Amino acid sequence: MKTRTFLAITAVSGLCAFPIHSQDLAVSGKVVDASGKPLQGVVVGLLAAHAADTTDAEGTFDFTGKSISLLKKFRNPGPGRYGGNRFLFETGAPAGIEGALLDAKGRAVPQEFRGGSRHVIALGNAWSDAMGGPGGPGGHAKVTAASGVTVNTAAAAAGDWLQAYKPGYAPSARQIPSYTGSHTLTLTASADPDFGPNVVVFDPAMPSAEMQARIDGIHAVQKAAQFGTDRFALLFKPGAYTLNVDVGYYTQALGLGALPDDVAITGSVRSVATTANNNVTIMFWRSAENMAVTPTVGGLDTWAVSQGAPFRRMHVKGSLGLSMGGWASGGFLADSKIDNQVQPGSQQQWYSRNSEWTAWSGGVWNMAFSGVVNPPAGTWPAKPFTVVAQTPVVREKPFLTVDKAGKYSVNVPALREASQGTSWSKGASGENLPVELFHIAHPDRDDAATINAALASGKHLILTPGIYHLAQSIQVLRAGTVVLGLGMPTLVPDNGTAALSIADVDGVKVAGLLIDAGPVESPVLLRIGEPQAGGASGPADHALNPTSLHDIFLRVGGPRAGSAAAAVIVDSKDVIGDHFWIWRADHGAGAKWDLNKGRNGLIVNGDRVAFYGLFVEHFQEYQTIWNGEAGRVHFYQSEMPYDPPTQADWQHAGVNGYASYKVADKVKTHEAWGLGVYCAFRAGPIQSDHGIEAPVAAGVHIRHAVSIWLNGVDGSGIGNVLNATGGAVTKTNTKATID
């Protein structure tokens, strides 16, 4: 007979630990080198348990007596309502834990799917949704065995991994059968760069089963870790693999070849729904890059994601699905070849740049294409397609490579003008910078001071996975500097500064960063160029060698309360933004009107600035303000803030609300293609008079824009799509467009 532990679990605002029972670890062991000699100073970690120890002079580590958190996560179901709580407990039950999720007053918490919200409960590597529905029996939760894992004190660790890391050695990892026992780990000396413990490098010579288990172990921890603290990069050396690479939160899967086909994976490289009803509206912060994949399940690879999840420089030798039938709010595809179809399915919107496929099979509201070979046919707004035949000027994202001699470098692609199709169709190109020219930063030993010293000495910068708390801004002052993030490294300014400041110089390249607002309000989180009097454009011309930024994601709130007056300010001329998601959190920690304060997402003062794939959401005034001349945007997706308490709190100069996209009245030339502005006002009958505001001028062109009423209170909506044109969206008329 199976026994079951039943728990009543209380969800309250904020982050807390509520010890029901605690479990002590009984894991110990030794780390040795290839000759059997003990190694001191090795950092040994337990992946799912989030425990760490350092070996002594005898090479030993010991987790005995340390307590772990097995029941570890709740998704926040709405702004400011329930926090992401952690609980400590053990269950002597041989299988299964089940319980009621209650609010602070002991009432059942219902499941809510509004805005993709849900409750997640995780035990070790098993996880479950809290069941129930609005107005009905709520909050029932059950966590049972996953993949044969028995959930009890003797075997709660099944699927967990011991990881050992020491500079100068290749990291080692071993899957353990339980949180008991003694283990010996062997580290082999390595001449590879020190990328830290959370960069996992795979080689075709490794056993496939071992690689698959490692990938699955990381995904088990990351698949529900929307606001978790772990970051990972999975790097694949050139060669052939038979693997299913599931990519979860804060995980980058990257091929290390000069060309995508140099890393050939038979199986899948995928992001799949880990939520009820195949809802992927919260599948954020992950990436797949520079690989070829031959899908083995129906010839279809799946990249079912929403914002902040790029799929770039990929070759899919089959078809690619972008959803799984549930709600989906993506997305970004660039520099990729899909041999057969792209199937967007239920994706509300998507942006594709410099790619090619045999066919594109549909769309919902806003599908935009720049420089794509064989884009879909159809006329807006009958079909939701915006096609720009060539991408005017772009540089592809820099990427890490390794050659046959084992030497690592960073490839920096050249600038392309009037381009169509992939950058790699005619072979490898770009400049390779040896990794020795880079300072490789680590979150446990680097801060803004050490990083700035390295940059001042002439080094480029690689940021390895982790969270970097900064006492001052990282300063990029030298022309041509490359800053490359691996595994979604996260910058947090703790003292109210910018996280990253880039001087008004030529040719800086920044890629693969997540920036979080800190506890002290910052005037700006990311600044490109130097402020000018009256918000004017920077004086220097950078048209021949512009600064470019790729896969840059910014948050105000979510993992923690934080504030920033503006997320991004661009003062320099000719800057290229290649995929930005700028987000004031609508859920998570501190997601409340008077807590995660953020006036504007993006302010562009520089002239001739271009953004390809721009997502800006939930800021408290204008989402985007464009002051510079000759600006260009290909694809824009924006949700207005959900949470203005009243109309009086959200108005200015006799105007209800704020437009999402604001082109300044003084601007003479501007063009934007494929814009979607959505509303979901939840506190009252809030109105925004305009989705977009732009001057009526011969040189200003807003093409193919749509307003959507997602949901909200009766009487809420957007008055017009652009200025006084396009008409209103309301509960009874949910969509309006302009050509």
Q: Which residues participate in catalysis according to the annotation? A: 639
CA distance 264 to 630: 42
CB 420 within 8 A of CB 373: yes
CA distance 535 to 590: 31
CA distance 174 to 232: 17
CA atoms within 13 A on the CB side of 514: 32
Q: Any idea what the Cα angle at residue 251 is, between residues 69 and 150, rounded to 5°?
A: 40
DSSP 8-state code for residue 25: -
Residue 590: closest CA among 557, 556, 619:
557
CA distance 206 to 609: 46
CA distance 7 to 123: 13
**Token pair of 518, please?**
């800190």
Q: Any idea what the Cα angle at residue 50 is, between residues 48 and 56, rounded to 5°?
A: 120
Residue 42: closest CA among 186, 222, 248:
186
CA distance 499 to 295: 40
Helix (H) / strand (E) containing 210: helix 208-222
Burial of 594 (0-12, 13-18, 19+ CB in 10 A): exposed
DSSP, residue by residue, 536-559: PPPS---TTS--EEEEEEEEESBS
How far, in Å, are 87, 215, 603, 641 from residue 679 at the CA level?
36, 38, 21, 7
Residue found under tokens 């990291």: 171
How far, in Å, are 158, 327, 616, 634 from residue 611 at the CA level?
46, 26, 12, 6
Residues 411, 412, 414, 420: what is their CA dihedral angle, to the nearest 10 degrees?
70
CA–centroid distance for 545 within its chain = 28
Q: What are phi and psi of 349, to 5 degrees?
A: -150, 160
CA distance 43 to 702: 54
For the chain, the C-alpha Rg in angstroms (whole number) is 25
DSSP 8-state code for residue 589: B
CA–centroid distance for 349 within its chain = 17
HEC letters along 234-251: EEECCEEEEEEEECCCCE
